[in-house]
Structures are given as C-alpha cells and as structure tokens.
Chains A and B, each alone.
Chain A
Amino acid sequence: MAHDPISDLRRYAAALEAQVSGERSRHAARTALHAPGPRRAPRRTVVAIAATLLMGVSNVALAAVADPAVPGDALYGVDRAYERVGALFGSDSTHAGERATEVMALQAQGKSAEALALVQETLTSLLQSDEPEAAVEEFTGGLGNSDAVKDKVAEILAVARGVDTTGADVSRIARSIVDSLVLPDQAKGDPGGPDNPGPPDGAGPPDGAGPPATTGKGKPIEPGQSGGQP
C-alpha cells in the first residue's frame, strides 16, 4: 500500500487533538475567560516605576537644593542627612570643604557662635577620620588663606597626633580659628590685611570685646588664644 505522508500527517494531527480531553479543553477555556487581564500588572509596574523615578528625581533635586544650606537653614538637616546616607553607602568624603564654606557663611551672617560650634564639631569629626591631617588641611584651606588660620593648622595637626580630640584642645583651637577668619569682603576693603581679625560691620563683637570666650565645656579661653593672634 502506498503511503501518503500528508494523509498520515492529518491523522497524526487528529490523534494529537483527540489526546486532549474535553474536560481539559473546558478547563482551559474557563481559565482563559476568567484570567485577570495582564494589562493591570504592567499598569501597576508603570506606576511603580514612575513613582520610583519621581522619588529619585526628587531626592536628587532635594539634595541639590539642600547642599548649600548652612546651620540654621530649614534644609541644613536634610543636607547632613544625605551626607550620612552617603557615608553608609561607602562614601569616604569628610565634607571638610563644605563645612568650611558653611563656617564662612555663618561668620558672614554674624553668627559667630554657630560658626564656632560648627568649627568645633567639624574638627572633632575630622580628627577622628582616617586621614585627619589631609581632612584638617582641606577644612582650614576652605576657611581662607590668612596667615592666622594657616598658623593654626600646625597646632591642629599636633592635636591630631595624640591629643584628646573631644576635649578642651579642640574647643580652644576652634575658637582661635573662628576669631582668625577673614571674610572675602573684608579682605578686599580692609587695608589692614588679611590678618585683621575684626568682624564685619555689626557682625559680632570686636576682637577681645564682649564676654570671655569659653571652651565647649564652659572653661574660659586664655586671653592669648582668643584673639587669633599667635
């Protein structure tokens, strides 16, 4: 008998169809009819992705807005929080330059007390960092190039080499640094030179005036150390 492959193919197809039970077919049809539309899932996915992107953009925008904030600003806490998050994810930046900018901004606003607190806090933090010398140099470099500040760097680095970094030494040096700061507009308009430690107009007490400065623990600072003159 001659074999016809096409006829055999049709019989094979019929056998394969017949292999599927009617019950299985009914079940498959019912399942398809009641299957939840997969469009919902993509829609949810799209919404989730959009929300994530929006949050990412918002975060970047918020971080950018918060970045120049100084102590006392509403976003300063946000700025510092982002830095801490960055540290958690392995960022080894000490933000020393940023702190220096903030100190200068505070000082320009006449907020010497806040500037002092920030210098003290920053020095304490930097001296405990992996590379205190580099960090302190970056910080003091950001505070300006006045000789008075430069002179303090050596003293600070001495502290870094073994003095109690949370104690009175840091407070004392912080105070002397703040007192030594020369703001940019002062440097331009003051023929006395960059070493003039006087504050801007109406911005804080003049050198040596006012109540005696104290350390972070309330101890008076020695007169020879508070005026910013070596």
Chain B
Amino acid sequence: MPESKRQSRIDSSGLFRAWPPSTERVTAARDGDRIVLGEILEQGFPKLVAFYRGSGLRHADADELASEALEGMVRNLPKLREAAAFEAWFWSVARNRFRSQLRKKGRTERELEYGPVPDPSDLLIETEEHSIIREAMKQLTVRDRQVLWLREVEGLTHDEIAGRMKMATGAVRVAALRARRRLADVYEGLHPDPD
C-alpha cells in the first residue's frame, strides 16, 4: 500500500488515525518520552488485537496476547536502531509473540483455527460480509492469513514482511498471491450467484 494510501486511513469515528507513528514520535518514544510511547502503544493495541483475531485467536486470547506484546515493545524499543523501521519492527514483535504463545501452548500454526463456535464478541460486529470473510480466512493457513493481513490491511511491503517473518521476499509474494486467490475462490463459493 503506498504511503499516501496509508495516511488516508480514517477510523470509525471519522478521526485521522496516526498510524504508523512518525519517525520523530518513534524517536522520542525510544529516547524515553513516556507520554509519546503511551500514545503509540494505545494506537497500536487495537491493531494488534485485530491482527491476532484475524490470525484465528478468540477475542479474549487476542486481547491478552496484544497486552503482552505491548509489554515486550516497551522493553525492546530502546534497542530499535532505525526509527523509520518502527512499523516492521512492531509487526515483528507481534508475530514473534504470537509464535511463542503457540509454542507455550504446545500448538502449531496448522492447528490454529477459529473457535468451533463464533466468538460472542463477533455478534457485536457480525454482518454477512464479516461472516463470509471470517469463513474464508479459515480456509487459509495461519501464515498465509498473516501475510495477507500485513500486506493488504497494514500495507507492509513484501520486503518488510519477508524481513519480519523470516521468509524470502519471493516466498512472501507467492504466499500473498496464493492467499488472495484462495480468498477469492472461497468468496465465489460462499456468495450466492446473483443470477
């Protein structure tokens, strides 16, 4: 996603969402400005919860894991050398936390699926469109879900995703393409033909 497209994102209340944070704000946070750091974390938290939900976790688990990821970021931000690389670093921490959580629970990414019953919190936002996208995402591997999410929702480049997910850029490109096609196929099957 181009930079202009990223910055045009407007949140549900119509306010400009300052994400990703500017390099100046990241630098200030890294250098000890706790107020700026708090604001960045506050803005990043819902994105993390959404990412984990999109990866297949239930809301409560996603919320808890996002909280842990924030704590990891507070500890490790001073080590971030290039403030410009913040966003890729942010998702790297998120992804690593996700993987370590799976290991802790003795699960693999292949095993992880959405819950057998819809998460009660989904009822708050559930529309036919959402239920279809949720069902379609279930058909993807966790890795493909995350690649697709980071590429299409968060707008990271293939290179950024590759660096953060420890994959070759080509592999990311292929995974993203495969995920998009799979999503489109599932969509086609799930949507009733208007004719």
* Interface residues in chain A, defined as those with a beta carbon under 8 Å from any beta carbon in chain B: 1, 3, 5-6, 8-20, 22, 24-26, 28-33, 35, 37-39
Contact = CB atoms under 8 A, between A and B. Distances in A.
A58 B2 CA distance: 65
Contact of B183 (A9, A17, A30, A39): A9
B184 interface: yes
24 contacts: A5-B136, A5-B183, A5-B184, A5-B187, A6-B152, A6-B183, A8-B129, A8-B130, A8-B132, A9-B133, A9-B149, A11-B130, A13-B153, A14-B12, A17-B11, A18-B12, A19-B124, A22-B42, A29-B39, A32-B70, A32-B71, A33-B38, A37-B75, A38-B75
A24 B45 contact: yes
Contact of A28 (B37, B45, B129, B186): B45
B49 A20 contact: yes
A14 B175 CA distance: 23
Interface size range on B against A: 35 or more
A57 B45 CA distance: 48
In terms of DSSP, what is the predominant structure of the interface of chain B?
helix
A33 B11 contact: no
B89 to A, nearest CB: 16
- Can you list the 3 inter-chain pairs with the closest CB atoms, starting with the nearest? A32-B70, A29-B41, A16-B50
Given A17-B49, A28-B67, A33 B54 contact: no
Contacts of A35: 71, 74
Nearest to A12: B133
Nearest to B70: A32
A29 B54 CA distance: 21
